Structure 1
Amino acid sequence: MSFSTLGLSASLLKAIAEQQYNKPYPVQEKAIPALLAGKDLLGISKTGSGKTAAYVLPALELCQRKMEKKDRHVRVLVMVPTRELAIQVNEEFAKFSAHLLTKVKNMAVYGGVSINPQMMSLHGTDVLIATPGRLLDLVDSKAVHLSQVEMLVLDEADKMLNLGFKDEMNRVFGLLPAKRQNALFSATTSDDIADMQKHLLHQPVQITIAEEEVNIDSIEQLAYNVTPERKGPLLRYLIKEENMQQVLVFTSAVRTADNLTGKLIKNGIHAASLHGHLSQSARIKTLERFKAGELRVLVASDLASRGIDIQQLPIVINYELPRSPKDYIHRIGRTGRAGASGKAISLICPEDQHHFGVIQKKMGKKVTIQESDDINLHLY
């Protein structure tokens, strides 16, 4: 199947071709025609499965329809859990709207930065990508109005619920018009997701993209107990002493990724960071350099790690543990693929020990844990 069979306009197909997307992912094959037909949709699909384009393309088609719209009233609202994802989704809208006959203004808003520039920039916005808290701040300031929203998209709804945004989300729902199209995407199912589906979606098309099973039997797992102040030096020691090449290091925060990368470079280790604050082109270029072996270490945040698909990646290091055991398995599952052996190392601070115990229990495997107190890290 090709994108040309899904009912998309020529201007969108041109943008798709420029991005060198050859054929749609399964979630796109099913979601795009349903959303173009105006139906509500429930998509259970993990991060990296192509779900962003599955709703971005129909949303842009919707914005090509003429509509009398008051200023500061958005037509499409996409709610996301984090700043990183907001930036990434905003970039997707920008690149796919390049050749549209009717200009579409898209914008991402999120906390952690000054609200005033966001308030001023909202003029004329058609598509708003927002984290729940900042969205409500802007609504309370009358900088944006939601009474003309035609399409609501909840991306990574399970993560929004896990981060405690349920009350904020319910308040946003109360500000939306009764007649609208809804799309709910989640990597997992739960009672909360089922309840949200019941109250939000009307006769939805349901799509479930089965996850590939990750085989961790061929992965050698090892962990080191370490104090926070010795964590960075220990990472550099392991990379240098074991002469590691093509190492993927996971962090949970963008700031950590950048700081870690800077210290690796300062210590003579060729490294780069990969996260949502980089432009799409910068992320692609960095990933290509890593795949080509030009970078010894790639330090990635979880959200930016989608697309890292290397058949024989030799080693993964958890500099910071992920939130869930499932995410841990996905991380280490990036090594040991296609029958090759792989290695996964985790650096465990005292405050991580209980959580790492939970991860091992859920995984059903005991990980060898070594002490690092006796390792001389003076020169690292």
Structure 2
Amino acid sequence: MSFSTLGLSAPLLQAVIDQQYSKPSPVQEQAIPALLRGKDVLGIARTGSGKTAGYVLPVLQLCQRRVEKKDRHVRVLVMVSTRELAVQVGEVFNIFSVHLPYKIKTMAVYGGVSINPQMMSLHGTDVLVATPGRLLDLIDSRAIHLSEIEILVLDEADKMLNLGFKEEMDKIFALLPSKRQNALFTATASDDIQDMQKHLLNRPVTIEIVEEEQDIDLIEQQAYNVTEARKGPLLRYLIKKEDMQQVLVFTSAVRTADNLTGKLIKNGIHAASLHGHLSQTARLETLQRFKEGKLRVLVASDLASRGIDIQQLPVVINYELPRSPKDYVHRIGRTGRAGASGKAISLICPEDQHHFGIIQKKMGKKVAILESDDINLQGF
């Protein structure tokens, strides 16, 4: 199947060609025609499955219908969980709207930066991509109104619920017009998600993409047994010994990320951390440097790393294991994309061994576990 069979207009198809998209992903094949028909959509698909383009393209086409609207009354609201995701989604809207005859203004709003420039820039906005907290701030300031929303999209609804945004989201839902089109995308179908979709969606087209959930065959997985005291030196040893030039390292805590980054820098390894305690400007600049290959190691939390989409990221290292097997697969899935090979390394302390066994069982793959006791880490 090609994008030309999905009902998209010529300007959008040209934008797809510009971005060198060869064929639609499974979620795009189903979501694009359903949204173009005005249907509500429930999409259950992992991050990286192509869902952003799956709703951006039809939303842009639907917005080509000219309507009279009052200033500061947006037509489309896309709610997202993090600042990085807001920026990323806003960029996708701008990329695909470049050839449209009726120009669509998209704006991303999020906390962590001054609200005043955002308020001043809202004039004429058609599509608003927003985190819940900042959206409520703008509503309270009467800088934006939701009474004329035609389309509501919830991107990564599971993450918003996990981050405790439910109360804020309920306040926002109460301000929306009852007649609108809705799309809800999530990586997991939890009870909370099911409850939300019952209240938000009207006879939705349900799309569940599971066949590629654990498509990690191109990723070379490896693990090292190591004591807590030797974990940092082992990480630095591996980076230097294997001459790794673009490495994404996952930690579970902000303090760990900062400490780890500091020690990498002291040992001559160009590194930076990415987490929610940094300013928005610093986070975006760090992410951009890493994407461009100007930063050797990026140490990130799961949440802060959203928006890292590099076609050929060579190495991912789990300095600390994630809580769930699904998060492990999502982490290592940052490498081995677009048909390229990749490598994922996990550092396993004695207290991690049982949990790592569960991860392997759920994943359906055995990981080669190497001993590190004999590795000379002096000087690292």
Q: TM-score, normalised by structure 1?
A: 0.79
User: Is the 1:324–1:359 contact (alpha carbons within 8 Å) kept by the matching residues of 2?
Assistant: no
Separation in structure 2 between the aligned mates of residue 341 and residue 162 of structure 1, nearest angstrom = 29
Q: What CA distance in whole angstroms lies between the structure 1 residues aligned with 2:354 and 2:368?
A: 9
Alignment partners' CA distance in 2, 1:23 and 1:142: 42
Alignment partner of 1:66 is 2:69: no
Alpha-carbon offset, residue 273 of structure 1: 8.9
Q: Which residue number in structure 2 is paired with residue 292 of structure 1? A: none
Alpha-carbon distance in 1 for matches of 2:261, 2:41: 40
Over 3 Å counting, the alpha-carbon distance change for 1:231 and 1:224 in structure 2 is closer
The structural deviation recorded for 1:248 is 3.2
1:324 CA drift (Å): 3.3
For 1:58 and 1:6, how far apart are their aligned partners in 2? 10
Q: Which residue of 1 aligns with 2:235?
A: 235
The corresponding residue for 1:33 is: 33
Structure 2: gaps spanning 5 or more residues: 276-282
Deviation at 1:82, TM superposition (A): 0.6
Tell me, in whole angstroms, the C-alpha distance in 2 between the residues paired with 1:369 and 1:171: 51
For the residue of structure 2 that corresponds to 1:304, the secondary structure is coil
Aligned to 1:344: 345
The more displaced of 213-222 and 97-106 is 213-222
Alignment check: 8 A CA contact 2:76 2:150 kept: yes
Please list, as runs of the form range in 1=range in 2, the aligned pairs for 1:149-160 lying within 5 A after superposition: 149-160=149-160
Aligned length: 360
CA distance in structure 2 between the partners assigned to 1:85 and 1:256 by the alignment: 23
2:316·2:335 contact (CA, 8 Å) conserved in 1? Answer: yes
Q: 1:155 and 1:117 mapped to 2: Cα distance?
A: 25
Q: Which residue of 2 aligns with 1:50?
A: 50
In the other structure, the counterpart of 1:251 is 250
What does 1:309-320 align with in structure 2 at a 5 Å threshold?
A: 313=314, 316-320=316-320
Q: What's the CA shift for 1:100?
A: 1.1
Q: Could you tell me how far 1:328 is from its partner in structure 2?
A: 1.3
Aligned to 1:207, the other structure's residue is in SS state strand
Structure 2 letter corresponding to 1:303: R
Alpha carbons of structure 1 residues 261 and 19: separation in structure 2 relative to 1, 3 Å: farther
CA positional deviation for 1:201:
0.5
What percent identity do the matched residue pairs reach?
A: 63
Q: Residue 86 of structure 1: CA displacement?
A: 0.6
Following superposition, the deviation at residue 250 of structure 1 comes to 2.7
Task: Supply the distance in 1 between the matched residues of 2:41 and 2:272 (Cα, whole angstroms).
Answer: 38
Instruction: State the shift of 1:243 in Å.
Output: 3.1
The corresponding residue for 1:111 is: 111
CA distance in 1, matches of 2:348, 2:144: 44
Q: Decide which of 210, 222, 238 is 1:220's aligned counterpart.
A: 222
Matched, 1:277 2:278: no
Return the alpha-carbon distance in structure 2 between the equivalents of residues 235 and 261 of structure 1.
11
Q: Which amino acid aligns with 1:139?
A: I
Q: How does 1:85-164 map to 2 (within 5 A)?
A: 85-164=85-164
How far apart in 2 are the matches of 1:48 and 1:357?
29
Q: CA deviation at 1:367?
A: 9.5
Quick check: 1:182–1:201 contact (8 Å CA) kept in 2? yes
Unaligned stretches of 5+ in structure 1? Answer: 290-294
Q: Conserved in 2, the CA contact under 8 Å of 1:223 and 1:367?
A: no
Amino acid at match of 1:222: Y
1:178 aligns with 2:191: no
Q: 2:303 matched to 1:304?
A: no
Letter in 2 for 1:94: N
Cα drift, residue 277 of structure 1: 2.4
What secondary structure, in the 3-state scheme, does the structure 1 residue paired with 2:174 have? Answer: helix
Maintained 8 Å contact 1:226/1:371: no
Residue by residue, what CA displacement relative to the aligned partner does 1:154-180 show, whole Å, maximum 9, x if unpaired? 000111111111111111110000000
Q: Per the alignment, in what secondary structure is the counterpart of residue 307 of structure 2?
A: helix
- Residue equivalent to 1:4: 4
Equivalent residues of 1:225, 1:370 under 8 A apart: no
1:4 is paired with a residue whose SS is helix
In 2, Cα distance between equivalents of 1:255 and 1:309 = 29
* 1:277 counterpart SS class: helix
CA RMSD of aligned residues (A): 3.9
Separation in 2, partners of 1:366, 1:11: 46
Alignment of 1:9-24 (within 5 A): 9-24=9-24
Q: Secondary structure at the match of 2:124?
A: coil
Greater Cα offset, 56-65 or 261-270: 261-270
Contact 2:85–2:306, Cα closer than 8 Å, also in 1: yes
- Against the structure 1 CA distance between its residues 341 and 12, is the aligned structure 2 distance closer, same or farther, given a 3 Å change threshold? closer
- Contact 1:360–1:367 (Cα < 8 Å) also in 2: no
Contact preservation (8 Å) 1:328, 1:359: no
Question: How far off its partner does 1:376 sit?
Answer: 6.0
Q: Quick one: distance in 1 between partners of 2:287 and 2:358? A: 37
Instruction: Find the aligned partners of 1:43 and 1:361 in 2 and give their Cα distance.
Output: 28
> Is the Cα–Cα contact under 8 Å of residues 73 and 148 in structure 2 kept in the other structure?
yes
CA distance in 2, matches of 1:259, 1:145: 43
